[in-house]
Amino acid sequence: MLQGYTPWPDELATKYRSNGCWTGETFGEVLERMATLTPTSIALIEGNRKVTYEELNDRANRLAHGFIHLGIKKQDRVVLQLTNTITFFEVCFALFRMGALPIFSLPLHRQTEITYFCEHTKAVAYVIPDVFDRHDYVKMAREVKGKVNTLQHIIVAGDEQEFLNVEALMSEESVNLPNISGSDLAFFQLSGGSTGLPKLIPRTHDEYLYSIRKSVEICELSERTKYLAVLPVAHNFTMSSPGVFGVLYAGGCIILSPDPSPDTAFPLIEKEKVNFTSLVPPLAIIWIEAKKSRGYDLTSLEVIQVGGAKCSAEVAKKVGPSFGCSLQQVFGMAEGLVNYTRLDDTDEKIVYTQGRPMSEFDEIRIVDEEDQSIAVGDTGHLQVRGPYTIIAYYNAETHNEKAFTHDGFYRTGDIVKQTEDGYLIVEGRDKDQINRGGEKIAAEEVENYLLSHEDVLDAAIVSMPDAFLGERSCAFIISQNEQLTGQALKSFLQLKGIAAFKIPDRFEFVHEFPQTPLGKVSKKSLREIIQEKLATKI
Ligand code: OOB
CATH for 500: 3.30.300.30
Atom 25 of ligand 1, nearest CA residue: 308
Average pLDDT over residues 260-277: 98
Q: Whose CA is nearest to atom 19 of ligand 1?
A: 308
Domain, as residue range, for 477 = 433-535
- Ligand 1: atom nearest CA of 190 is 4
Mutation pick for ligand 1 pocket among 214, 305, 331 (CB with most ligand atoms within 8 Å): 331
Q: What distance in Å separates the CA atoms of residue 379 and residue 367, rounded to the nearest whole number?
A: 8
Whole-number Å distance, alpha carbon 330 to ligand 1 midpoint, is 8
The closest-lying atom of ligand 1 relative to the alpha carbon of residue 439 is: 5
Cβ–Cβ under 8 Å, residues 302 and 276: yes
Q: Which of 363, 394, 429 is the last residue of a domain?
A: 429
Question: 391 and 244, same structural domain?
Answer: yes
Q: Which residue has the least CA distance to atom 2 on ligand 1?
A: 333
Residue 105: predicted pLDDT = 97
- CATH number for the domain including 367? 3.40.50.12780
pLDDT band at 62 (very low <50, low <70, confident <90, very high): very high
Which helix (DSSP H) or strand (DSSP E) does residue 23 occupy? none
Examine the domain organization and report whether 37 and 135 are in the same domain: yes
Question: Strand 164-165 relative to strand 185-190: parallel, antiparallel, unpaired?
Answer: unpaired
d(CA 410, ligand 1 centre) in Å: 14
Residue 174 confidence (pLDDT) above 90: no
Domain annotation covers residue 358:
yes
Going from the Cα of 435 to the center of ligand 1, the distance in angstroms, rounded, reads 9
ω into 232 cis (within 30 of 0) = no
DSSP string, 324-369: TSEEEEEEEETTEEEEE--TTS-HHHHHH---EES-TT-EEEEE-T
Gap between the Cα atoms of 212 and 460, Å rounded:
38
Helix axes 486-496, 443-451, angle to 10 degrees: 100
Is residue 149 located within the same domain as residue 225? Answer: no
For residues 269 and 366, state if they share a domain. yes
How much is the ipTM here?
Answer: 1.00
Same domain flag for 267 and 337: yes
Position 362 in a domain: yes
CATH number, domain at 35?
3.40.50.980
Kindly state whether residues 360 and 474 are assigned to the same domain. Answer: no
User: Which residue's C-alpha comes closest to atom 9 of ligand 1?
Assistant: 333
Ligand 1 first shell, C-beta below 6 A: 192, 236-237, 241, 307-310, 329-334, 338, 354, 412, 414, 426, 429, 435, 440
pLDDT reported for residue 397: 94
pLDDT at 172 over 90: no
Question: Which residue puts its alpha carbon closest to atom 22 of ligand 1?
Answer: 310
Residue 201 located in a structural domain: no
Residue range 304-363, pLDDT digits in tens: 999 999 999 999 999 999 999 999 999 999 999 999 999 999 999 999 999 999 999 999
Residues 53 and 69 in one domain: yes
Q: What is the pLDDT of residues 388-435, one digit of tens each?
A: 999 999 999 999 999 999 999 999 999 999 999 999 999 999 999 999
Cβ within 8 Å of residue 431, ≥6 positions away: 194, 413, 414
508, 474 in Cβ contact below 8 A?
yes
Confidence band, pLDDT 50/70/90 cuts, at residue 538: confident
Whether 185 is covered by a domain: the verdict is: no
1 pLDDT above the threshold of 90: no
CA–centroid distance, 343 to ligand 1, in Å, is 19
Residue 210, in any domain of the structure? no
Tell me how far the alpha carbon of residue 54 lies from the centroid of ligand 1, in angstroms. 34
| Residue nearest (by alpha carbon) to ligand 1 atom 24 | 331
Query: Does residue 42 surpass a pLDDT of 80?
Result: yes
Which residue's alpha carbon is at the smallest distance from atom 16 of ligand 1?
309
Both 425 and 437 in one domain: the answer is: no
Ligand 1 centroid, distance to 445 Cα (angstroms)? 19
Residue 32 confidence (pLDDT) above 90: yes
Write out pLDDT tens, residues 176-231.
Answer: 999 999 999 999 999 988 888 899 999 999 999 999 999 999 999 999 999 999 99
Compute the distance from residue 23 Cα to the ligand 1 centre, in Å.
27
Residue with CA at minimum distance from ligand 1 atom 6? 333
Cα distance between residue 399 and residue 195, in whole Å: 9
Between the alpha carbon of residue 404 and those of residues 146, 251, 383, 414, the distances in Å are: 36, 36, 9, 14
Q: Which percentage of the chain shows pLDDT scores above 70? A: 100
Q: Is 244 exposed, middle or buried (0-12, 13-18, 19+ CB in 10 A)?
A: buried
Residues sharing a CB contact under 8 Å with residue 106, sequence separation 6 or more, in sequence order: 81, 190, 232, 234, 235, 499
Q: What percent helix, strand, coil does the chain show, rounded to 5?
A: 35, 25, 40
Tell whether the model's pLDDT for residue 507 goes beyond 80: yes
Cβ atoms of 202 and 5 closer than 8 Å? yes
**CA atoms lying within 13 Å on the CB side of residue 17:** 12
At residue 253, φ and ψ (nearest 5 deg) are -125, 135
**Residue 157, domain member (yes or no):** yes
* Best CA proximity match to 191, nearest among 80, 82, 105, 83: 105
**How many angstroms is it from 253 CA to the middle of ligand 1?**
25
Best residue for ligand 1 mutational test, from 203, 333, 390, 425 (most atoms within 8 Å of Cβ): 333
Give 309 Cα–ligand 1 centroid separation in angstroms: 6
Residue 495's pLDDT is 96
Q: Where among 429, 462, 480 does a domain terminate? A: 429
Q: Name, in order, each residue with C-beta under 8 angstroms of 259's C-beta and a sequence gap of 6 or more.
A: 133, 230
- Residue 8 falls within a domain, yes or no? no
Which of 399, 429, 459 lies at the terminal end of a domain, its last residue? 429
pLDDT at 171: 87
Based on the fold, state whether residues 113 and 44 are members of the same structural domain: yes
Do 376 and 468 have their domain in common? no
| Same domain (yes/no): 235, 294 | yes
Determine the residue type at 284: A
Q: Give the separation between CA 209 and CA 378, rounded to whole angstroms.
A: 33
pLDDT value of residue 148: 98
Q: Give the closest residue to 430 by CA, choosing from 445, 415, 446.
A: 415
Question: What pLDDT does residue 230 have?
Answer: 98
Look at residue 209 and tell me if it is in a domain. no
CA–centroid distance, residue 82 to ligand 1 (Å): 22
Q: pTM for the complete prediction?
A: 0.97
Asked if residue 462 and residue 390 are part of one domain, the reply reads no
Q: How many domains does the chain have?
A: 3
Tell me the C-alpha distance between 41 and 34, whole Å: 9
